[in-house]
């Protein structure tokens, strides 16, 4: 990462992963650049209001400017306007967390959510994170629409998400991951039990029209104590139906329209959608 642009983007991506801020030395070391150069770039980012320094320790932290840009973009594409009512209904009927992730190139990013749990244990993560494809229900659901070679290449580029960083049941090999991908394709939706987060189970289904590449993924997640395997299987049809409804409405979103022109990358598999 030698160019100024690459270094600048590297700083922004690093700070995005550290909400409590990072010291100059830590930033320079992790980006792999001299501290003097890091100091100059951070000064430019502060001047442009993308970064600020904390008063107590002088650590560097992101401002909300990038977040604002992202939210503005999503608003302009129409994704949230289309998806939110559907997510709200599904969350209310299931009593669990429902999330939408969108596909952008090789990334799957959570952009919207609806919380159905009103009491007891609640799983309520931050938005804007990229899904770890190999161990998240959303990632497995997306890869279930691909051929094996494409899925393996995508997961290998990102790297396996393994314990203890992720759930205790996260697949520890590409073959184990592929078995879960194949099961998701056969079932019509992915099912995970403590693969992404300890104590959390989830199901996910791709959002796509027949014969087209997927546009995103809808997931339902909840604590293992109440979101059991039997309950996940029972809610699967409702999840798939919601994904189909969102796909049918996708023409109103500029972002989703980009995907409508892309053919499906896997042939001969049963469509993952519902009437």
CB 247 within 8 A of CB 209: yes
* Closest C-alpha to 111, from 89, 134, 78: 78
CA 31 from chain center: how many Å?
24
- The boundaries of every CATH 3.30.450.40 domain in the chain are 73-260
**Which ranges in 116-228 belong to alpha helices (H)?**
137-143, 148-158, 174-187
Query: Which residues does residue 272 pair with via DSSP β-bridges, in sequence order?
Result: none
Measured in degrees and rounded to the nearest 5, phi and psi for residue 126 equal -75, 150
What CATH code is assigned to 4-66? Answer: 1.10.10.10
Specify the pTM.
0.71
CB 214 within 8 A of CB 259: yes
pLDDT tens readout for residues 45-83: 999 999 999 877 789 999 878 876 766 666 666 677 778
pLDDT score for 120: 60
pLDDT tens readout for residues 3-17: 899 999 999 989 988
- The boundaries of every CATH 1.10.10.10 domain in the chain are 4-66
pLDDT score for 117: 74
What CATH code is assigned to 73-260? Answer: 3.30.450.40
Residue with tokens 């993560």: 125
Q: Which residues, given as ranges, of the chain have pLDDT below 70? A: 1-2, 68, 70-78, 119-127, 251-275
- Written as six digits, the tokens of 242 are 């919601």
């Amino acid at each position: 990462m030698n160019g100024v642009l690459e270094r600048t983007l590297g700083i922004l991506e690093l700070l995005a992963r550290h909400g409590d801020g990072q010291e100059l030395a830590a930033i320079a070391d992790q980006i792999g650049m001299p501290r003097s150069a890091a100091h100059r770039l951070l000064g430019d980012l502060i001047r442009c209001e993308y970064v600020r320094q904390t008063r107590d320790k002088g650590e560097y932290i992101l401002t909300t400017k990038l977040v604002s840009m992202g939210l503005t973009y999503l608003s302009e594409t129409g994704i949230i306007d289309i998806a939110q009512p559907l997510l709200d209904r599904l969350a209310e009927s299931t009593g669990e967390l429902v999330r939408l992730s969108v596909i952008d190139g090789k990334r799957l990013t959570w952009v919207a959510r609806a919380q159905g749990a009103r009491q007891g244990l609640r799983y309520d993560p931050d938005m804007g994170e990229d899904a770890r494809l190999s161990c998240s229900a959303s990632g497995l659901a997306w890869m279930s629409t691909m051929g094996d070679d494409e899925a393996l290449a995508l997961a290998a580029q990102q790297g396996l998400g393994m314990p203890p960083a992720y759930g205790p049941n996260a697949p520890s090999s590409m073959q184990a991951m592929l078995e879960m991908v194949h099961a998701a394709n056969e079932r019509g939706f992915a099912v995970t039990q403590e693969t992404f987060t300890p104590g959390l189970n989830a199901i996910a289904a791709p959002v796509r029209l027949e014969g087209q590449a997927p546009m995103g993924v809808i997931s339902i997640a909840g604590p293992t104590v109440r979101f059991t395997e039997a309950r996940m299987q029972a809610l699967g049809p409702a999840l798939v139906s919601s994904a189909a409804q969102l796909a049918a409405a996708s023409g109103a979103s500029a972002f989703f329209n980009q995907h409508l022109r892309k053919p499906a990358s896997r042939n001969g598999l049963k469509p993952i959608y519902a009437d």
